[in-house]
Amino acid sequence: MEHIDFSLVDWSRAQFALTAMYHWLFVPLTLGLSFIVAFMETKYVRTGNPEWKRITKFWMTLFGINFAIGVATGIILEFEFGTNWSNYSWFVGDIFGAPLAIEGIMAFFMESTFIAIMFFGWNKVGKKFHLASTWLVAIGSNLSALWILVANAWMQNPVGMKFNPDTARNEMVNFWEVLFSPVAIDKFTHTILSGYVLASIFVIGISAWFLLKNREHVFAKKSIRLATIFGLISAVLIAITGDNSAKMVAKHQPMKFAAIENLYHGEANAPLTAIGMLQQSNEPAKHDFVFKIQIPGMLSFLAFNNTDAFVPGIYDLLNGNPEHNILSYKERCEKGKIAITSLGEYKTAKKSGNDSLAKAALIRFEENYPHFGYGYYADRDLTELVPNVPVNFYSFRIMVGLGFYFILFFAIILFFALKDKLQNKRFLLYTALWTIPLAYIAAELGWVVAEVGRQPWLIQDILPTIASVSQVTPASVQITFWLFFVIFTGLLIAEIKIMLTQIRKGPENAAEVTQNSQIN
């Protein structure tokens, strides 16, 4: 790693971020709307009320538009792994391959098969079979997300694997440890719930538009009631999983946790900064508060369920804190350097047939492997190991703030919906409509915190971005960055345009649906 081309690393990261963020514009709506549609169709099958069929078919069409335009946008990420991140792709081995293969074989095929029945099976298959297909699409979509999120969680907290120095690949030794790691469970539940919240807000916002236009009152009210209950439950659960996520980050990614809090000097009874504004300090890689509102002891409680617990700051991690058994990054870099050198020595000794040297090198390597990634920073400025503090600090607060706003939003909408007074509250209806983009902002910021916060690591503590990139030219990455920007922006415009046309058109004629229901 003597010659690291940062423009290559930065462009490769920017391209991945661009692709992932565009991909995530489509995914959460698919995850949530699939279940909302399944609930709506269940209502139709149980009650036989053709209005529920109209409702189901309308939202199913919007689901279909989002699914059709968003499908396969995630495959681009896999292209990027192979081209731009070849060292990483090789290094992760079957840890990434196995979950993604299961996703491809099981979840994607399940989703694709039943989606055909869901869209084209009306009046061709029985009501119950059609309903089962709709549910299987919802389950399949969410299972697809499971495997990708398990792989992502493994990168944040690598467990259940062993590095093979002969092949330079990680090998899975315990599939269940990978699948059921607390980080994976939390990552999955928190992420899919964000999709449920987003989809609920989407349904409420568009239904509110119909009420504002004085159209389709029955359709809009029924849609709002169902989506609000689903959204409120999901929003409350997301707060719980968010709390768990914070505990996981504090335990496994303390630097990310400190960066989110702009905490430089660790302390017991650490306060949580509810609101604050940062400015660059004169000290390296430090930001000071211009102003802050803090809740005493809350950060310690949030991280460790104990207000007296010590929360390490950025400087505790960089410089070490013997009192709290925190190894300095300098020491970790030295150990990492030993791991890297030992891996090279092991390889050379194996090649020359010197088994005793190889064995000794392997022992040194394995002892120091938990610090492997730090070795790449042994001769570098250690502040490179600190993620971007302002991005994490603000993104986290906006995401959490919006999360609490969504709970309040659902509660107020539900209150007026149950009293059947929502149609008279034009301010609330406009608020519902304008909450749709806020849901997308919160969903994207969640990923910003998760991914920018773990920088510079692709695999926490083991593999940084600078050791993961392929030796390709920065120009080629720049070209494909702009290509993707154009393609994805085109897809987004297509999605919005087709969706708006379909929304303006509204649900299909009630008489037609009643007639079809009788046939069915």
Partner 1 sequence: MTVGKKLWAVIIIKLIIMFLVLKIFFFPNFLKTNFKTEKERSNYVIDQLTK
Per CB under 8 A, residues contacting partner 1 are 1-2, 61, 64-65, 68-69, 71-72, 75-76, 79-80, 82-84, 86-87, 89-91, 165-169, 340-341, 343-344, 347, 467, 470-472, 476, 479-480, 483, 487, 491, 494, 498, 501-502
Closer to partner 1 at the Cβ: 388 or 476?
476
Residue 472 CB, nearest approach to partner 1 (Å): 7
Closer to partner 1 at the Cβ: 76 or 146?
76
Q: What's the CA gap between 378 and 336, in Å, rounded? A: 8
* Helix residue ranges, H only, 157-216: 175-179, 182-212
Judge contact between 424 and 121, C-beta under 8 A: no
Residue 66 CB, nearest approach to partner 1 (Å): 10
Residue 459 CB, nearest approach to partner 1 (Å): 12
Residue 446 CB, nearest approach to partner 1 (Å): 26
Residue 425 CB, nearest approach to partner 1 (Å): 32
Q: Tokens representing 121?
A: 């099976």
Closer to partner 1 at the Cβ: 88 or 147?
88
* Helix residue ranges, H only, 213-304: 217-252, 254-261, 298-304
Closer to partner 1 at the Cβ: 156 or 480?
480
Residue 491 CB, nearest approach to partner 1 (Å): 7
Residue 483 CB, nearest approach to partner 1 (Å): 7
Q: What's the CA gap between 366 and 425, in Å, rounded? A: 65
- The DSSP code sequence of 301-366 is HHHHS-TT-EE--HHHHHH-BGGGTB--HHHHHHHHHHHHHHHHHHHHHHHTT-HHHHHHHHHHHH
Q: What's the CA gap between 121 and 64, in Å, rounded? A: 14
Residue 123 CB, nearest approach to partner 1 (Å): 15
Which residues touch 491 (CB under 8 Å, ≥6 apart)? 22, 69, 70, 73
Identify the DSSP state of 270.
Answer: P
Q: What's the CA gap between 375 and 475, in Å, rounded? A: 28
Phi-psi region of 159 (alpha: psi -120 to 50; beta: other; left: phi over 0): beta
Closer to partner 1 at the Cβ: 47 or 501?
501
Q: What's the CA gap between 2 and 265, in Å, rounded? A: 32
Closer to partner 1 at the Cβ: 295 or 483?
483
Residue 440 CB, nearest approach to partner 1 (Å): 20
Closer to partner 1 at the Cβ: 133 or 480?
480
Closer to partner 1 at the Cβ: 376 or 406?
376
Closer to partner 1 at the Cβ: 72 or 293?
72
* Helix residue ranges, H only, 48-108: 50-70, 75-84, 86-92, 94-102
